[in-house]
Structure 1
Amino acid sequence: MATSLLTRVKARVDLHTSNRARGLIQGRGRSLFKGSGEDFDDLKYYQPGDKISDIDWKATARSGEPLIRQFNEERVRHLSIVADTSSAMAATAADGTSKREAMVLAAGMICFLAQKNGDLTGLVAGDERRPIQLPSRSSDGHLELLLRSIQQGTTTASSAPDSAWLLERAFRVTKHSTLMTIITDEARPSVEDFTLLRRLTTRHDVMVIRVADADPLQRTDLDHDVVDVDNPREVASLVRTSKRVARDVEAYRRARRDGITEMLDRLHVSHILTQGETTVVEDMIAMLRAREYRHARA
C-alpha cells in the first residue's frame, strides 16, 4: 500500500528539522496563528500595561479618552491554503526537484501545524474551467484529500497561470477570517495583483510561499532538451548558450523578484522564495519563527 502524502510530510519534517525547530512545528504556543483566530468583543478604557496596538483611534477621537479593543479568542481557528495548480507548478524548481512536490510539502506542513493545534484547514485551487475547493476540516482523511487534490491537479496539461483569478476566487469563497497561505511560483503574485492581494489582507492574515524556477537556459546540461511549460516549445541550444540572452534573462528575473518582494513587504505579508523541495521546510520554519517573534513583540 502506498504511503500517504500526510505521512510522508510528517517524516520529512522530522528528518529536516532540529529539536528546537520541531518544537515550533508542533505548535509550541499559539502565537504562530495570532491575528487569525480572534473576534472583536467590546471597547474598554485604556489602562497602563495595555497594548498600544489595541487602541481604537476612531473611538478614542469620538470619546475624548483612549479606548482599546477587546478580543475573544476562538477555540477553533481556520486556515486556508491557496494553491497554484497551474502548468507552471508542474515544472522544475531551482534545486532540480519538482515545484509541484515542493508545493505539496509546503501545504503538508501547514496541515500538520493546524492539526497539531486543533485547527481547521481548507483549500482553494484549480482554475476557472475546473475550480477546486475543500471546506475547513482537520481529520487525517480530509488533509490527505487536500494534499492529493493539489498533487493530482497540478500537471503540464493544467491551465496557464492566472493569479488574478485565483486571488479573486480565494476572496469570494473564503468566508471566515483565516491564516491564508498562498503557494505559487517565483513570478506570482505579480505586481499587477497588488489591489487583489491588498483586499485579501483586509480580511485574512496572508503568507506567500514562492517556489523558484529552474534556470530556463540550463547551459550546463545541453544534452537535455528544455521545454517552456507556459508556452510549450523547446528552447533552442543557440539561445541557451548566448551570453547576451543569459544577461537579459537574469536582469529580467532579478527585476521581477525585486518588484514582488517590494509589493509583499509593503503589504506586510510574510513571504519566502524557496529553491524547491530540498529547502522549503527550513525556509518555512524561518518565516514562521519571524512571525512568532513579531507577534511576541506586538
Structure 2
Amino acid sequence: MATSLLTRVKARVDLHTSNRARGLIQGRGRSLFKGSGEDFDDLKYYQPGDKISDIDWKATARSGEPLIRQFNEERVRHLSIVVDTSAAMAATAADGSSKRDAMIMAAGMVCFLAQKNGDLVGMVAGQENRPIQLPSRSSDGHLELLLRTAQQATTTAAGAANTSWLLERAFRVTTRSTLMTIITDEAHPTVEDFTLLRRLKTRHDLIVIRIADADPLQSAALDHEVVDVDSPREIGAMARTSKRVAHDVAAYRRARSEGIEEMLDRLHISHMLTQGESTVVDDMIAMLRSREYRHGRS
C-alpha cells in the first residue's frame, strides 16, 4: 500500500523544523494564518498591506485619516490553496526534482501547519474545462484527498497554465475571507494578473509560492533530450550550447522574475521563489517568519 502524501510531508518536516514552524503559530490566541474574525475589537490606522475592505469609511471621514476595523481573531480559520495543475508543473524544477513534488510538499506544509492550529483547508485548482474545488475541512482524510487530487491533476497532458482563469475562479468560488496560498511556477502569476491579484487582495490575505524551472538549455547534459512541455518540442543541441542563446535566456528569465517580484511587492503580497522539493520547506519557514515579523507579535 502506498504511503499517504500527508504522511510523507509530515515525515519530511523533521522534529527540529516542525518545532520551529509550530513556534510561528503559537501565542495568545494568535495564528500564523492571520485573518479577520467575526467580532469587532477596535479601530487602528491603515498600514500598507491591510485589506481595503476593512476600512471604516465613516470613522475615516470623521478623523481625516484612513482607519480600519480590527477584529478579534476567530478560533477556527479558513485557508485556501490555489494550485496551478498545468503541464508546466509536471516538468523539472531547478534542483532536479519534479515541480509537482515541490508543489505537493508546499501544499502539504500548509496543511500540516493548519491542522496543528485547528484551521480548515480548501482547494481551488484544475483547468477551465475541468475545474477542481474542495471545501474547507481539517481531517487527515480530507487533507490527503486534497494533496492526492492536486498530484493526479498535474500531468504533462494537463494543458498550458492559465493563471488568469485560476485567479478569477478562486475569487468567484472563495467567498469567505481566507489566507490564500497560490502555488505555481516561476513564470506566474504574470504582470498581466495585477488587477486580478489586487481584487483578490481586497478579500483575502495572499501568499504566493513560486517553484523555479530547471535550466531550459541543460547544456551540460546533451546526452539527454530536453522538451518544452508548454509547446512540446525538443530543444536542439545547437541552441543548448550557444553562449548567445544562454545569455538571452538568462536575461529574459531575470527580467521576468524581477517584474513578478516587483508586482507582488507593490501589492504587499508575501512571496517566495524556491528551487524545488529540496528547498521548499526551509524557504517556506523563512517566508513565514518574515510575515510574522511584519505583522508584529500580538
Are the equivalent residues in 1 in contact too, given 2:40–2:72 (CA < 8 A)?
yes
Tell me how far 1:18 sits from its aligned partner: 4.1
User: Which whole-Å CA distance do the structure 1 matches of 2:92 and 2:78 have between them?
Assistant: 31
Identify if the C-alpha distance between structure 1 residues 70 and 224 changes in structure 2 by more than 3 Å, giving closer, same or farther.
closer
Bigger CA drift: 213-222 or 71-80?
A: 71-80
Are the equivalent residues in 2 in contact too, given 1:31–1:295 (CA < 8 A)?
no
Give the SS at the match of 1:165.
helix
**Which residue of 2 is the match for residue 72 of structure 1?**
72
Identify if the C-alpha distance between structure 1 residues 235 and 68 changes in structure 2 by more than 3 Å, giving closer, same or farther.
closer
**Which residue of 1 is the match for residue 162 of structure 2?**
162
**Which residue of 2 is the match for residue 219 of structure 1?**
219
Q: Which amino acid aligns with 1:116?
A: K
Are the equivalent residues in 1 in contact too, given 2:264–2:271 (CA < 8 A)?
yes
Tell me how far 1:159 sits from its aligned partner: 1.3
Matches within 5 A, 1:26-37: 27-29=25-27, 30-34=30-34, 36-37=35-36
Are the equivalent residues in 2 in contact too, given 1:31–1:296 (CA < 8 A)?
no
Give the SS at the match of 1:32.
coil
Tell me how far 1:62 sits from its aligned partner: 3.9
Give the SS at the match of 2:272.
strand
In structure 1, list runs of 5 or more residues that go unmatched. 45-50
Q: Which amino acid aligns with 1:28?
A: Q
Are the equivalent residues in 1 in contact too, given 2:42–2:71 (CA < 8 A)?
no
Give the SS at the match of 1:195.
helix
Misfit runs of 4+, over 6 Å = 65-68
User: Which whole-Å CA distance do the structure 2 matches of 1:128 and 1:217 have between them?
Assistant: 31
**Which residue of 1 is the match for residue 209 of structure 2?**
209
Paired residues, number: 289
Tell me how far 1:33 sits from its aligned partner: 1.4
Tell me how far 1:151 sits from its aligned partner: 0.5
**Which residue of 2 is the match for residue 87 of structure 1?**
87
In structure 2, list runs of 5 or more residues that go unmatched. 48-53
**Which residue of 1 is the match for residue 153 of structure 2?**
153
Q: Which amino acid aligns with 2:173?
A: V
Are the equivalent residues in 2 in contact too, given 1:102–1:276 (CA < 8 A)?
yes
**Which residue of 1 is the match for residue 40 of structure 2?**
41
Tell me how far 1:43 sits from its aligned partner: 6.0
C-alpha RMSD of the superposition: 2.2
Tell me how far 1:131 sits from its aligned partner: 0.5
**Which residue of 2 is the match for residue 250 of structure 1?**
250
Q: Which amino acid aligns with 2:26?
A: R
Identify if the C-alpha distance between structure 1 residues 114 and 61 changes in structure 2 by more than 3 Å, giving closer, same or farther.
closer
**Which residue of 2 is the match for residue 238 of structure 1?**
238
Q: Percent identity?
A: 71
Identify if the C-alpha distance between structure 1 residues 62 and 267 changes in structure 2 by more than 3 Å, giving closer, same or farther.
closer
Tell me how far 1:100 sits from its aligned partner: 0.1
Give the SS at the match of 2:80.
strand
- Measured against aligned partners, the alpha-carbon deviations of 1:245-284 in whole angstroms (never above 9, x if no partner) come to 0000000000000000000000000000000000000000
Are the equivalent residues in 2 in contact too, given 1:168–1:196 (CA < 8 A)?
yes
User: Which whole-Å CA distance do the structure 2 matches of 1:19 and 1:167 have between them?
Assistant: 30
Give the SS at the match of 1:149.
helix
Q: Which amino acid aligns with 2:217?
A: L
Matches within 5 A, 1:1-298: 1-14=1-14, 17-18=16-17, 21-24=20-23, 27-29=25-27, 30-34=30-34, 36-39=35-38, 41=40, 51-53=44-46, 58-63=57-62, 69-296=69-296
Give the SS at the match of 1:180.
strand
User: Which whole-Å CA distance do the structure 2 matches of 1:65 and 1:187 have between them?
Assistant: 41
User: Which whole-Å CA distance do the structure 1 matches of 2:200 and 2:153 have between them?
Assistant: 24
Are the equivalent residues in 2 in contact too, given 1:92–1:99 (CA < 8 A)?
yes
User: Which whole-Å CA distance do the structure 2 matches of 1:52 and 1:173 have between them?
Assistant: 31
User: Which whole-Å CA distance do the structure 2 matches of 1:135 and 1:127 have between them?
Assistant: 18
Q: Which amino acid aligns with 2:232?
A: P
Q: Which amino acid aligns with 1:21?
A: R
Tell me how far 1:60 sits from its aligned partner: 3.4
- Measured against aligned partners, the alpha-carbon deviations of 1:71-127 in whole angstroms (never above 9, x if no partner) come to 232221000000000000000000000000000000000001111111100000000
TM-score (norm 2): 0.91
Are the equivalent residues in 2 in contact too, given 1:190–1:260 (CA < 8 A)?
yes
Are the equivalent residues in 2 in contact too, given 1:40–1:69 (CA < 8 A)?
no
User: Which whole-Å CA distance do the structure 2 matches of 1:226 and 1:56 have between them?
Assistant: 51
User: Which whole-Å CA distance do the structure 2 matches of 1:269 and 1:169 have between them?
Assistant: 19
Identify if the C-alpha distance between structure 1 residues 111 and 64 changes in structure 2 by more than 3 Å, giving closer, same or farther.
closer
Give the SS at the match of 2:13.
helix
